[in-house]
Amino acid sequence: MTNTDSDNSREWAAQAYALLKKRQEEQKKELEKQEEQKKELENQEEQKKELENQEEQKKESIDIPNKEKIAEQSKTIVEPELGEFDDNFTWSAMVLAAQGKKINQISIDEIDWLTKLRRGLEETRKGFVTELLEKLGDDPLTPESLDDLETLLIRADVGIDSTDKVISSLRTKLNEEVVGGEAGIKFLKKELKLIIDKPIKNSGSDLLVPQKGKLNVWLLVGVNGVGKTTTLGKLAYLSSKSNYKTLIAAADTFRAAAVEQLKVWGDRSNVDVISNQSKNADPAAVVFDAINSAKKRNVDLLLVDTAGRLQTKNNLMDELAKIKKIIDKKVPDALVESLLVLDASQGQNGLKQAKSFAKSADLSGAIITKLDGTSRGGVSLAVSEEVNLPIRFIGAGEGIKDLRPFNSYEFVEAMLADK
């Protein structure tokens, strides 16, 4: 990018920032106005209760409102606020602009997510891009610099197959023309995006969304500890906010805290949870009940949490097979997705899990979690290339809104963002 391009980009981003700041101030004023009206109504109600019955009023003011307040706080979703006008904002705005967004179409929510994604991949970038740029500088690529790049890609857990493919493409290009450092990074972005996009395009669906008019059943599978139950809760929130009728089946009956954890997420997302409180209840029976409930309510999306670890791998796969058999029998026309949840920080161990589940669980996609703070974000490319799994969602934060549909352009730009 030339200095002129950089100046124009920053000016464009500054205009977007000013517009968002104005919009945020207007929203704050509106919220303050609504809060004042709410307080006024509450005061009137309290006065009315006091006149009717002083003792009842005392009970209501001390006991019930406190309970309601606690319940309300558990459902509170923290909305993002506009931060400083800095490099993160400028980069995020430019990523959105490159995808066709106009200044008045950019939202704080989108900026907040891209900033988190960029920060989340910072450790991957530090061990990869920063060192790469230091080695390349402004000099043209050489066979030696490709050797360095190969080492850096493998260290970022991009995987052997993906690395070989990228390096081979770069060597071919290098034999045809002189490639400078900036052009090399641009070419690298293109190659990495091709690797990630291939299984997504092969799936026939660029974006995984529930289809209206049919029951969509998404099974979340994966070993314990990868964030499977938390991811399901975030998916429920995303689905509900996107106006899909959503239901949760708590079929991980072998982990004591899983059901309670899901109920908390369901409460925050305003999504009901179908569960069985019996110890070691049959997961397939829970799914059976959930399907019945989903059919009665005309649910669009049924999210099923499955057990992460039983005594043996065969037991785990047998349980998944039983669940699928129930689905096929009860709703043969349902659209079923089996989504593997992977913890990015596990790197090559996560890749091994993907290969193992892919052989036995008839997977249709992957969800990459815990991208924030790991130096192994490149494992997403290994999953795409070596397991041929389309990445459907990624998580880069602890908040309920920190899970988003996967966007290969945004991911690669964040992974290779200049310092």
pLDDT in tens, 267-292: 999 999 999 877 778 999 999 999 99
Mean pLDDT of 46-62: 59
Which residues, in sequence order, are bridge partners of residue 394?
Answer: 368, 404
* pLDDT at 352 > cutoff 70: yes
CA–CA gap between residue 250 and residue 91 (Å, rounded): 40
Which range (68-72, 226-230, 249-253, 365-369) has the least confidence?
A: 68-72
- Whether the per-residue pLDDT at 69 is higher than 70: the answer is no
Helix, strand and coil content of the chain, in percent to the nearest 5, comes to 60, 10, 30
**What pLDDT band is residue 54 in, cutting at 50, 70 and 90?**
low
> Which pLDDT belongs to residue 412?
93
- pLDDT confidence of residue 163: 92
Non-local (6+) Cβ contacts of 347 within 8 A are 157, 374, 376, 379
Instruction: Give the largest Cα separation in the chain, rounded.
Output: 89
- For residue 126, give both structure tokens: 């530090």
- The answer to whether residue 56 scores a pLDDT higher than 60 is no
- Alpha-carbon separation of residue 38 from 42, 44, 89, 284, 334 (angstroms): 6, 10, 34, 46, 44
| Mean pLDDT along residues 85-102 | 92
> Is residue 133's pLDDT more than 80?
no
Measured torsion, CA atoms of residues 343, 344, 348, 350, in degrees rounded to the nearest 10: 20
Helix axes 348-360, 379-386, angle to 10 degrees: 30
Nearest partner of 353 among 391, 305, 387, judged by Cα = 387
More confident residue, 235 or 374: 235
pLDDT greater than 50 at residue 61: no
Shortest CA distance to 374 belongs to which of 398, 343, 404, 412? 343
* Mutual angle of helices 181-203 and 408-415, in 10-degree steps: 150
- pLDDT above 90 covers a percentage of the chain that reads 46
pLDDT tens per residue, range 166-223? 999 989 988 888 888 778 888 889 999 999 999 999 999 999 999 999 999 999 998 8
Task: With H, G, I as helix, E, B as strand and everything else as coil, classify residue 220.
Answer: strand
* pLDDT, greater one: 130 or 258: 258
| Mean pLDDT, residues 380-403 | 92
Cα-Cα-Cα-Cα dihedral of 403, 404, 409, 412, to 10°?
A: 10
Q: Is 201 exposed, middle or buried (0-12, 13-18, 19+ CB in 10 A)?
A: exposed
Residue 63 clears pLDDT 50, i.e. is over it: no
Query: What is the per-residue pLDDT for 70?
Result: 32
Cβ atoms of 292 and 334 within 8 Å: the answer is no
Q: Which residue has the higher pLDDT, 176 or 75?
A: 176
Q: Indicate the pLDDT class of residue 313, thresholds 50, 70 and 90.
A: low
Q: What average pLDDT score do residues 245-270 get?
A: 90
Q: Which of 66-75, 296-305, 343-352 has the lowest mean pLDDT?
A: 66-75
Please report which confidence band the pLDDT of residue 137 belongs to, taking 50, 70 and 90 as the band edges. low
Which residue is associated with the tokens 């998944």? 320
- pLDDT top residue among 391 and 1: 391
Question: What pLDDT does 255 receive?
Answer: 80
- Determine the pLDDT at residue 136: 64
Residue 116 predicted with pLDDT over 50: yes
Look at 58-62, 186-190, 229-233, 336-340 and tell me which has the smallest mean pLDDT.
58-62
pLDDT at 59 over 50: no
- Of 402, 406, 396, the residue nearest 124 (C-alpha): 396
Residue 383 has pLDDT above 50, yes or no: yes
Residue 382's nearest CA partner among 337, 416, 346 is 346
